[in-house]
């Protein structure tokens, strides 16, 4: 949806937002606002002025918010702190916490050119060689996130450094129960299996919390232009986050794609074993528990998708993508994958 002039845009109060932006960066009104498709939580808009300059605006969903989620201040803090690091992020323009401007907190960044790769068609924009290069870059950027100097970036107080997985199990079971309207006993059963077998956490680093291919802007040459969607970033276990990346990563023989995205099945993309191996070689970290972390991340993703589906069903996000209708099936498949993975460790 693209709207210019006086046409209303869900989630945007055009006049006050335009005035707010004019105070912080050079703009040529009127502004056009376009909801960028694909986000399943916070809303992202492409903002374009009369001179063709572009920005990105992020705000929470319009309704059905979860307690503790959709924190614009937190996400803005992360982007600002990471600006001088090797982690590629969009340059920040500003943060608005005055709800009189737009009804909710929001922040604006410069617009970064790049492709969001979700489907095989998207992946075909890259050569096979570029897909292999992108696989490596995704691992390298994850390693850069995990090597962030917490003191130098003032992120040492971002969250509790210990017991990351135990806290995640607690949070996402609570969120699942708060959002679901159906009986799915496998969620509780797998939760209990995971809670009883958590590997020791060796170290604590910055973790993105939702690191995956389509939360990055990719270039045709196989680079990562920017990492997006930092809303649930915290301090935690880097190997658990590696498991999160792998839970999203779809291989040709999987039989299902959790988000309906199959870009990583295209020739040239690495498989999960290659990703994990490269991470271990690059960082020197022991990835022996990555199988368990893959099971944990699959269960966690099941809980997340249950909540995403509930938010769409409740009308929180205006345009419902077709793949979201499949999320209830993905939830069950992910929980089963987690249980089966644990059984074979």
Class of domain 127-343: alpha beta
pLDDT, tens digit (0-9, with 9 covering 90-100), for 257-296: 999 999 999 999 999 999 999 999 999 999 999 999 999 9
CA 225 to chain centroid = 15
pLDDT the model gives residue 325: 77
Class of CATH domain 2-110: alpha beta
- Rounded-to-integer distance, Cα 64 and Cα 238, Å: 31
Confidence of residue 37 (pLDDT cuts 50, 70, 90): low
21 sits in which H/E element: helix 14-22
Distance CA 114, CA 112 (A): 6
Q: Give the whole-angstrom CA distance, residue 197 versus residue 247.
A: 19
Model pTM above 0.85: yes
Banded model confidence at residue 70, pLDDT cuts 50, 70, 90: low
Burial label for 181, CB within 10 Å (0-12, 13-18, 19+), is exposed
Domain with CATH 3.90.1200.10 in the chain: 127-343
- For residue range 149-200, list pLDDT tens digits in order: 999 999 999 999 999 999 999 999 999 999 888 889 999 999 999 999 999 9
3-class secondary structure, 121: helix
- CATH 3.30.200.20 location in the chain: 2-110
């Amino acid at each position: 949806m693209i709207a210019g002039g006086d046409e209303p845009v869900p989630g945007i109060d055009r006049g006050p937002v335009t005035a707010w932006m004019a105070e912080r960066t050079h703009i040529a009104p009127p502004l056009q606002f376009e909801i960028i498709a694909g986000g399943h939580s916070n809303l992202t808009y492409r903002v374009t002025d009369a001179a063709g300059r572009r920005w990105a605006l992020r705000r929470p969903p319009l309704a059905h918010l979860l307690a503790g989620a959709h924190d614009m201040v937190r996400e803005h803090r992360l982007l600002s702190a990471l600006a001088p690091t090797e982690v590629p992020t969009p340059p920040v323009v500003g943060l608005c916490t005055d709800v009189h401007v737009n009804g909710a907190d929001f922040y604006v960044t410069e617009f970064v050119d790049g492709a969001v790769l979700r489907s095989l068609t998207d992946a075909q924009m890259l050569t096979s060689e570029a897909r292999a290069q992108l696989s490596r870059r995704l691992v390298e950027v994850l390693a850069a996130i995990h090597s962030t100097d917490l003191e130098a970036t003032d992120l040492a107080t971002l969250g509790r450094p210990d017991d990351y997985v135990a806290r995640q199990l607690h949070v996402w079971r609570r969120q699942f129960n708060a959002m679901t309207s159906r009986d799915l006993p496998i969620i509780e059963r797998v939760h209990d299996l995971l809670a009883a077998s958590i590997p020791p956490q060796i170290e604590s680093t910055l973790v993105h919390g939702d690191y995956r291919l389509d939360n990055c802007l990719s270039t045709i040459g196989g680079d990562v232009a920017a990492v997006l969607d930092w809303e649930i970033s915290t301090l935690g276990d880097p190997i658990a986050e590696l498991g999160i990346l792998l839970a999203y990563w779809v291989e040709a023989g999987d039989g299902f794609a959790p988000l309906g995205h199959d870009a990583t099945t295209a020739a040239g993309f690495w498989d999960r074993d290659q990703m994990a191996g490269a991470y271990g070689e690059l960082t020197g970290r022991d990835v022996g528990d990555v199988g368990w972390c893959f099971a944990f991340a699959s269960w966690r993703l099941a809980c997340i998708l249950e909540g995403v589906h509930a938010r769409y069903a409740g009308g929180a996000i205006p345009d419902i993508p077709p793949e979201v209708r499949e999320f209830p099936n993905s939830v069950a498949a992910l929980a089963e994958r987690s249980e089966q993975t644990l059984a074979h460790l």
